[in-house]
Amino acid sequence: MHTPLSYLRVFGTFLRNSLVRDMTFRANFLIDTISSTVWVFMNLGFYVLIFHYTPMLGAGTGWGKYEFFLFLATTLLINSLMRGLFLSNAVELSERIRTGTLDFLLVKPIDTQFLASLGRIEWSAIGPFACGLLLLAYALAQLGLVPGPATAALYVLYVLCGVAIYYSLMIAMASTSIWLGRNRALLDFWFYITNFSRYPMEIYRGPWGTPLRHFFTFLIPVFIAVNVPARVLVRPLELRAPADWLLPGFALLATAGSLVVSRWIFNRSLVSYRSASS
């Protein structure tokens, strides 16, 4: 009988094993961590450059330099959690389907999606994650904001919702490898889609921007993933008017919906899986 506790224990083993593996190739781990951190700093440089020319992203949106840094920190936290926990697993799942080694996961007495999603943890994502936390603290200090316990709890909750939404999209896309045979464009496609949510959703305006915003909010809810937690910090929730409840409420609904739909796609794809072995 599997209990949540036993899954937690297995996850602990994944964490330990991956750490042992990473520490076996220490130089590689160090280079990975440093290079992903340098990447973060170069991106930050680009945004500093942009704010050299403008005080705000979009007229009247309220996303000034440090507000946007809070947004960026949230993106960093969510993306590094995705990279650390799921990215290499999703890529490997696609490869396992092609080579037929998914068999080894199917025969294990544990939920296949759990095993396929979390089997390998990339500890080097800790570099960008730490950058995210530092940037968060720096931007909060610059804005003079001190989030209360309720705001902090809501922020963590919505960051986790963001991770869940991104994860659902990724696992659903990786599952399509079963039908396509191989999905080499998986990573590219995932990056290009989440690329849209690197900026506050308010910048998507006008005859093209509004439909795009609606598409990525309601159909593929990637905008929800970063925007809602970032807003929790920048504009602490004042749930007075019913309209204030809309987006945070919808975010919870979108998270649950994404998880259910991706679970369905994963299970549905497994039915079509034909092992590559004899």
Partner 1 sequence: MRFARASTSWTILRISLQERLVYRGDFALGTLIRFLPIITQVFLWGAVFSAVEAVSGSRRPVAGYTYQAMVGYYLLTMVSRAFSSMPGLASGVAREIREGTVKKYLVQPVDMLEFLLLTRVAHKLVYYVVAVGPFALVFWLCRGYLPGWPGPEVMAAYLASLLMAFLLGFFLEATIGMIGFWFLEVTSLLFVYMLLSFFCSGHMFPIDLLPGAWGQAVRLLPLQYLAYFPTAVMLGKVTGPDLARGLCAQFGWMLFFLIAARVTFHYGVRRYSGFGG
The residue ranges that bind partner 1 (CB under 8 A) are 31, 35, 38-39, 42, 45-46, 49-50, 52-61, 184-185, 188-189, 192-193, 195-196, 198-199, 202-206, 209, 212
State how far Cα 97 lies from the chain centre: 23
Taking the complex as a whole, how short is the minimal distance between the CB of residue 209 and partner 1, in angstroms?
6
- Report the residue number, 117 or 194, with the smaller CB distance to partner 1: 194
Taking the complex as a whole, how short is the minimal distance between the CB of residue 215 and partner 1, in angstroms?
12
Taking the complex as a whole, how short is the minimal distance between the CB of residue 50 and partner 1, in angstroms?
6
- Report the residue number, 188 or 238, with the smaller CB distance to partner 1: 188
Residues 52 and 46: their CA atoms lie apart, in Å, by 10
Residues 135 and 153: their CA atoms lie apart, in Å, by 19
Taking the complex as a whole, how short is the minimal distance between the CB of residue 63 and partner 1, in angstroms?
8
- Report the residue number, 63 or 86, with the smaller CB distance to partner 1: 63
Taking the complex as a whole, how short is the minimal distance between the CB of residue 54 and partner 1, in angstroms?
5
Strand (E) positions, 63-194? Answer: none
Taking the complex as a whole, how short is the minimal distance between the CB of residue 65 and partner 1, in angstroms?
11
Token pair in block for residue 55? 């005080």
Count of other CB atoms within 10 angstroms of residue 30: 13
Residues 85 and 233: their CA atoms lie apart, in Å, by 25
Residues 194 and 82: their CA atoms lie apart, in Å, by 11
Count of other CB atoms within 10 angstroms of residue 252: 14
Taking the complex as a whole, how short is the minimal distance between the CB of residue 104 and partner 1, in angstroms?
27
Residues 155 and 112: their CA atoms lie apart, in Å, by 30
* Three-class secondary structure of residue 64 per DSSP: strand
CB 245 within 8 A of CB 154: no
Residues 123 and 99: their CA atoms lie apart, in Å, by 26
- Report the residue number, 63 or 167, with the smaller CB distance to partner 1: 63
**Phi-psi bin for 62: left (phi > 0), alpha (psi -120 to 50), beta?**
left
